[in-house]
Structure 1
Amino acid sequence: MIGKVERGEAQPTAALLGRLSGALGMTLSELVARAEGDDRRLVRAADQPTWTDPDTGYRRRAVSPASGGPLELVEVDLPAGTEVSYPADAYAFIHQQI
């Protein structure tokens, strides 16, 4: 599946990106920022990267720039009745608050 995503033949799902970023030891925002080559310190609301899972409609907007700092703010919109599962160990290195 990763090969298809790299070739632009498929859109990655939230579950795939979660597993991939966890395996690389980084947050989802860091993974997306590296893929886009974005290293800005200030990102206006209209320019904040948004990603939507093609399978579930899960939408994720990076509120804070992915600067590799100790804090990351994201806004998540999860449609009612939708589930997105990640392996428990994918984010063992992150403290999350909802």
Structure 2
Amino acid sequence: MAIAVQERRAAEAALLAVREIADQLLMRNGELGAALAQNARFSEGNRLFALYAIEQSRGEARLLKETLESVHAKRVKEREMLEAYRRSATSGRAAE
């Protein structure tokens, strides 16, 4: 009988130890879940910032492209005007 009581106490102690470990694991699991949730929010914030930065870069690229096209068109018109002045000057000299 004494052996059965000792075995019962040993089993209860083992069960108590298992419960403590399970409680610790559940608490740790909750901490990990909270950390993962925080990481997800942080990652989402980074993703939104990256998308914003990409859109801003695209906007700047469009603006630079439009400016370049405008400058190019202006240079073409200036060349055409210069060529017209040259032709006018050359034809004026030929007439003299």
TM (normalized to structure 2)? 0.13
TM-score, normalised relative to structure 1: 0.13
Larger helix fraction of residues: 2
Higher relative contact order (CA 8 A, sep 6+): 1
The structure that has the greater radius of gyration is 2
